[in-house]
Amino acid sequence: MEERQRAILALLLVGLAPTASIFISFATDGGLVSQIAFVLSKIWLLALPLYWYLKIDNGTISWSKPEQGGYAMGIGLGFGMSALMIGAWLLLGDRIDGDLLRDAVEPVGLLDARLYIGAAIYWIVVNSLLEEYVFRWFLVVKSEVIVGTGNPAIFLSAFIFVIHHTFALHFFGFPWWANVLASLGLFVGGAIFSWLYVRYRSVWIPYIAHAICDVAVFGVGAIILF
């Protein structure tokens, strides 16, 4: 199988896995099947790119050390995007039905403040890094093979990053207009994260920006839910 075909297969197998997990989770109302699907999807997203890189691409293990710096850029963009998200919520947040959001997260226990804090820590510390590993490192590299380097790869990886978030926001009860705005914001954010990876070739730089943004997201979520 030629390199481009392999890259397309890798992109489909890895890039669509979070969307499949979202559908299974919400279709089963947060029960045991949902929890199993969540765990298996995370294992899949961690293991498959690593296996592909080591066994198919014949790569070597790397900790993705930021050899070209970029820390200030990651921090600055993280705070800048967070400020924009908070500003959008201050302008439009009163139009979001908090009860619908509470009904959506109640089956998975996120109305418990302690569980919510634990989930926030997991998403900020672990899940954000996993998403950078998947969507910025692995899928940006595969996108470069498929559509070319630079903006085409950045935009393709950003589009794939948005898909499962859009479905999740729909299931969480966001009105269509809020989902459209949020998805556009996620696309821009994903493109910025991908640009940071392309610019610095390290997952740690976009991770810094991503983690800062997730702090803002969970802060706003706590205000809505509690």
d(CA 119, CA 113): 10
Would residue 60 count as lying in a domain?
Answer: no
pLDDT-above-90 percentage for the chain: 59
How many CB atoms within 10 Å of residue 205? 27
d(CA 84, CA 79): 9
Would residue 12 count as lying in a domain?
Answer: no
pLDDT digit string, tens, across residues 94-119: 777 777 777 777 766 778 888 899 99
Q: Give residue 5's pLDDT band: very low, low, confident or very high (50, 70, 90).
A: very high
- Per-residue model confidence (pLDDT) at position 111: 81
pLDDT digit string, tens, across residues 157-184: 999 999 999 998 888 777 888 889 889 9
Would residue 9 count as lying in a domain?
Answer: no
Would residue 199 count as lying in a domain?
Answer: yes
Range of the domain at 132: 70-225
Would residue 31 count as lying in a domain?
Answer: no
Would residue 13 count as lying in a domain?
Answer: no
- Per-residue model confidence (pLDDT) at position 224: 83
* Total count of domains within the chain: 1
Q: Return contacts of 78-86, CB within 8 angstroms, 24+ apart.
A: 78/208, 78/209, 78/210, 78/211, 78/212, 78/213, 79/212, 81/189, 81/192, 81/209, 81/212, 81/213, 82/212, 82/213, 82/215, 82/216, 84/185, 85/185, 85/213, 85/216, 85/217, 85/220, 86/216, 86/220
Which residue type sits at 45?
A: L
Would residue 142 count as lying in a domain?
Answer: yes
Would residue 177 count as lying in a domain?
Answer: yes
pLDDT-above-70 percentage for the chain: 96
Whole-model pTM?
0.89
Minimum mean pLDDT among 16-20, 28-32, 72-76: which range?
28-32
- Given a cut of 90, is residue 32 above it in pLDDT? no
